[in-house]
Amino acid sequence: MDYDALSQTLDALCHDETDSVALMATVACELHTAHPLSDWTGFYRVVAPELLKIGPYQGGHGCLVIPFNRGVCGAAARTGQPQIVPDVELFPGHIACASSTRSELVLPVWNGAGRLLGVLDLDSDTEAAFDQTDADALTAIMARIFRDAE
C-alpha cells in the first residue's frame, strides 16, 4: 500500500475542506480504491454520547448503529486507540455486519480541537490484512485531513 501517494491525493482533494461528512466521503472513496485488501471502507460518526451511526462508506451494507460498548468500532471509540484485529472470530463482542469479514482495522478520528468525530473502519475478507504500519500511516493521514473538521 502506497500511503505517500494516498496522502498526496487526499491532501489535494481535501484542501481547505472543513465539513466532516464531505471529508469522510472523499477519504472512504480514495482509501477503498487504494487499499488492495479492504473490501469495506468507511466511517461511523459520533451522533450522540456513546453512539456511532454509519457514515460515508464503500462496499456492501454496514451496520447502521453501533454503541461504544459493542464491537471493534465501539472499542476504538471508547478507548480512543486503534484496533488491529487479525481474526475477528477471536475479538470478544465482534459485530458481524458482513459474514465475509475476517480481519479489521478501526481508528478513532479526531479533529484538531480533540473532539472525536467518529471511527475509520476497514474490513477485509483476508485474515491479518492490516498491521501496525497501516494503523500508523492512516492515523497520521486522518489527523491531518480532519484537523479543521467541524
The string of pLDDT tens digits covering residues 7-53 is 999 999 999 999 999 999 999 999 999 999 999 999 999 999 999 99
Cα–Cα distance, 141 to 116 (Å, whole number): 15
83-85 sheet: strands from edge to edge: 65-67, 51-58, 40-48, 116-124, 103-110, 83-85
pLDDT for 107 equals 98
Structure letter (DSSP) for residue 35? -
The SS3 call for residue 122 is: strand
The string of pLDDT tens digits covering residues 75-94 is 999 999 999 999 988 887 77
Domains and CATH numbers, the chain: 3-128 (3.30.450.40)
Residues forming a β-bridge with 72: none
